[in-house]
C-alpha cells in the first residue's frame, strides 16, 4: 500500500473516471490504495442518513457502498489500533484538531502512507505526506 484515501476521495470517485479523482484512481494499482475504518464510518453514516430520508436513493447508495467500498477495499481497510490512536493523540497537542481528521492522519502516519485528499489544509501541519489529485 502506498496511499490512504480520504473520505472525500471515495465520495468523488463515485462519479467515475470523468473527474480528476476518478482518473487518478484508475491510474493506480488497486493494491496501492487503502482506506481507514474512519472513512467506512463516515461513508456509512452518510448512507444511513440517505436511506432514512429517501429509501430509493438510499438503496442505490447502499449498493454502491457495499460493492464499491466494502468489497473493493475488503482487505485494505485499516483499523484504528493503539499505534494509530497514539499518532492521532499527538496531533491534538498543542492545538486540537477534529477527531476524525486526527484518526485518518494517525492512520497515514502509522502505516507510512501518503494521504490523498482534497482537504490538504486540514492536514497541513500533521507531518503526513499529502497528495491532492485535483491539483497534482
* CB 8, CB 117: distance < 8 Å: yes
What are the residue ranges of helices labelled H in the chain? 7-13, 20-26, 37-53, 55-64, 82-90, 99-110
Q: Are 4 and 113 in contact (CB under 8 A)?
A: yes
Q: Is 95 annotated as a binding residue?
A: no
How far is it, in rounded angstroms, from Cα 136 to Cα 67?
A: 28
Is 101 known as a binding-site position? yes
Residues belonging to the binding site for Mg(2+) are: 6, 101
Residues belonging to the binding site are: 6, 101
Amino acid at each position: 500500500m502506498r496511499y490512504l484515501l480520504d473520505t472525500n476521495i471515495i465520495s468523488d470517485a463515485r462519479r467515475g473516471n470523468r473527474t480528476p479523482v476518478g482518473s487518478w484512481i484508475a491510474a493506480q494499482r488497486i493494491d496501492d490504495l487503502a482506506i481507514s475504518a474512519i472513512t467506512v464510518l463516515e461513508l456509512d453514516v452518510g448512507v444511513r442518513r440517505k436511506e432514512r430520508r429517501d429509501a430509493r436513493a438510499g438503496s442505490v447508495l447502499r449498493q454502491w457502498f457495499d460493492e464499491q467500498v466494502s468489497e473493493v477495499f475488503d482487505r485494505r481497510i485499516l483499523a484504528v489500533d493503539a499505534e494509530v490512536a497514539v499518532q492521532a493523540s499527538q496531533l491534538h497537542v498543542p492545538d486540537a484538531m477534529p477527531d476524525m481528521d486526527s484518526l485518518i492522519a494517525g492512520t497515514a502516519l502509522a502505516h507510512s502512507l501518503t494521504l490523498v485528499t482534497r482537504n490538504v489544509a486540514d492536514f497541513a501541519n500533521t507531518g503526513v505526506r499529502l497528495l491532492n489529485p485535483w491539483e497534482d
